[in-house]
Amino acid sequence: MSMKLGVNIDHVATLRQARYAGSLGSHNCEPDLCTAAEVCEQAGAHGITIHLRADRRHIQDADLAALRPRITTKLNLEMGNTPEILAIALATRPAEVCIVPENRAEITTEGGLDAAGQSEALAPTIARLQEAGIRVSLFIEPATVQVEAARKLGADMVELHTGAFANACGDEQRAELERLIAAATLAHGLGLQVNAGHGINYENIALLHAVPHLAELNIGHSIVARSVFVGMAAAVAEMLEAMRRDPR
What does DSSP say about strands 75-79 and 193-197: parallel, antiparallel, or unpaired? unpaired
Helix (H) or strand (E) holding 96: strand 96-99
The residue type at 95: A
Which residue in 78, 96, 159, 216 is the catalytic one? 78
DSSP string for residues in 138-181? EEE-S-HHHHHHHHHHT-SEEEEE-HHHHH--HHHHHHHHHHHH
Has 78 been annotated as catalytic? Answer: yes
Which residue in 51, 96, 176, 216 is the catalytic one? 51
Has 216 been annotated as catalytic? Answer: no
Helix (H) or strand (E) holding 242: helix 232-244
Q: What number of residues does the chain have?
A: 248
Which residue in 96, 161, 198, 216 is the catalytic one? 198
Has 51 been annotated as catalytic? Answer: yes
Distance of alpha carbon 213 from alpha carbon 215, whole angstroms = 6
Residues recognised as catalytic: 51, 78, 198
